[in-house]
Chain A
Amino acid sequence: MKWFAGALFAASLLSLPLFAGDFYINLASQILIAAIFALSLNLLVGFGGMTSLGHASYLGVAAYFSALLTSRYGFGHGAAALISIAGTIAMAAFFGTIALRATGLGFLMITLALSQVLWGLAYRMSNVTNGDNGIAGLTRPAPFGISLDSAPAFYWFALIVASFAFLMMAIFVSSSFGSSLKGVRDQPRRMAALGFNPWMIRWITFIYAGFWGGVSGLLFVYYNKYIHPTSLSITSSAEALLGVIAGGTGTLGGPVVGATLVLLLKNYASAYIERWNMLLGLVFLFIVLVMPTGIVPGLNKFASLFRK
């Protein structure tokens, strides 16, 4: 039964472009990108117990790197992608060294401050980043000569990357390293007494999450063919964090569901009202006050009631 449902879900994902219009295909691509981003944040928030409010840094920096390298310095997409990801990893390693000096609220404030600094940089260093105008006129890559300019082609590309990302992150959290990460989240002192190095485990996770954040950033800039400092803003980090928390931290499906809901809400709400930030704030209040554990754990509890 479970396998059948899974196969049905996979088939409907694969065949979506055959029956849906371009608008919905593009929406689905955006959801896939947001899902990778939320999943990578969830490695920190859910499995590592490190609530970061600066995760947009990795998405934004990878996107800006790729945009600058391809549009201004004439790099090919392959080389640009490699350099962007390498740059993002290096930055995550550096930011991790700083932010992981603290835990809990200190960690949250440091990640927020660091990402705000990057946001300010993207705005003010206008001779490099083009400031508030953003960088427009970008192109999508053509892996193996296949153009990704049509909506279905890009969707399949994003689906392949997202499935791979999901698989890799699932393996990561169920590996023995993932178990030690959860151990460090719940009992850092006991783990240290057992001979684990909590700092190193957190740092590696931080870098790994930054890596997948960077991958989602590349997809993001390929999809939009445009990048603006807003991608680095606190709103962008907060949307992802809302997705993770609304969906349910520490689950694999939660962030995907949460990111989907936030993106749908954003798309449909912005058709009716302009006030996305206010709505985002209200949803934050609602989620935290009404379902603090998130939707997926809530539904699981609901389902287990029926199974009895």
Chain B
Amino acid sequence: MQFWIIQGLNSLSLGGLLFLLSSGFSLIFGLMRLANLTHGAFFMLGTYFAAIAMRTYTDLNIWVTALGAGLVVAAIGGLFERLVLTRLKTNPLGQVLVTLGMSFIISDACLVLWGGDSIPVPTPRYLQAPTRLFGFVFPTYRLVLVGCAVAAAIALYLLMERTRLGAMIRAGVDDRQMARAVGIPVSNLFTIVFCLGAGIAGAGGVLGGPILSAYPGLDADMLPLALIVVILGGIGSLMGAFIGSFIIGFVYTFGTALFPELAYIILFLPMIFVIAFRPQGLFGRVGA
């Protein structure tokens, strides 16, 4: 019983991490029609940022670090969008290739700067003690992580559905030309959304740090998970990213625990199933 409950919590916390990773990917894809293959690298950049910052300043608060890393990664993403992606507006294939090239550059730069050994990110001290609930013992940090993901999901939902900015983004998703015609600055929205997506990934990388730790190749491990989540949930849908993240979190965690050899095959079974019966994904719209 303990096994199932603990694995269940692990699944939830992995799902939460995946949501922080894939929600940004999905937002960017929805508005910009751009498969941002740099997303795994943005996530890894956040993790390295936390690992280095907290190794240097041991008393650093992880929440402050997450905020700082989020801002830094958002700034890098914004620069990349402004300097490179805007030049390729008419060339969607070129945009994908450029994001792929950028991900190679970032991951190699991390390897040069911080070496090939994995660097741990410490769990905050006050979250190290396990929590006892209903007679079971839970690692507190993982519970907090799930809470963070849910909070981020609610915040993103409110941003998209209840604010003026969200309304403009939704208008851009639905009909870009019409949105331009009524005076919505769609190009600026592109930059804002790209920064937002990159920032969430960077902050998510920090929060995932205590579980994953920073190592070279983290980006290549996370990117396919993000892809599978958004293909499963429906590209461009926040709800799809949320549900998809937790499905993949459960499938991957239990797959690894029960059939470690086959975890990777089990991982893409739900994706194949969904593609076969609903090519647009669980919550995707036709034509999106």
Contacts and interface: CB of A to CB of B under 8 A. Distances in A.
Interface stretch (B55-63, B97-105, B149-157, B187-195): B97-105
Given A101-B275, A105-B96, A275-B108, A127 B267 contact: no
A238 interface: yes
B228 interface: yes
Interface stretch (A11-19, A58-66, A115-123, A190-198): A115-123
A303 interface: no
Contacts of B100: 53, 234, 238, 281, 284
A285 interface: yes
Contacts of B261: 124-125, 127
Interface residues of A, number: 42
A108 interface: yes
Contacts of A127: 261
Contact of A120 (B109, B227, B264): B264
Contacts of A104: 92
Contact of B109 (A242, A278, A288): A278
B220 A233 contact: yes
A105 B101 contact: no
B235 A124 contact: no
B231 A113 contact: yes
Question: Which of B29, B112, B264 counts the most chain A CB atoms within 10 A?
Answer: B264
Contact of A288 (B88, B108, B112, B272): B88
Interface of B: 29, 33-35, 37, 84, 87-88, 91-94, 96-98, 100-105, 107-109, 112, 220-221, 223-224, 227-228, 230-231, 235, 260-261, 263-265, 267-268, 271-272, 275-276, 279
Interface of A: 51, 53, 98, 101-102, 104-106, 108-110, 112-114, 116-117, 119-121, 124-125, 127, 233-235, 238, 241-242, 245, 275, 277-278, 280-285, 287-289, 292
**What are the 6 closest A-B residue pairs judged by CB atoms, nearest first?**
A284-B101, A281-B104, A116-B224, A281-B105, A278-B108, A281-B101
Given A101-B279, A114-B268, A288-B94, 20 more contacts: A108-B35, A109-B35, A112-B224, A116-B227, A120-B264, A124-B260, A124-B261, A127-B261, A233-B220, A241-B97, A278-B108, A278-B112, A280-B101, A281-B102, A281-B104, A281-B108, A289-B84, A289-B87, A289-B94, A292-B91
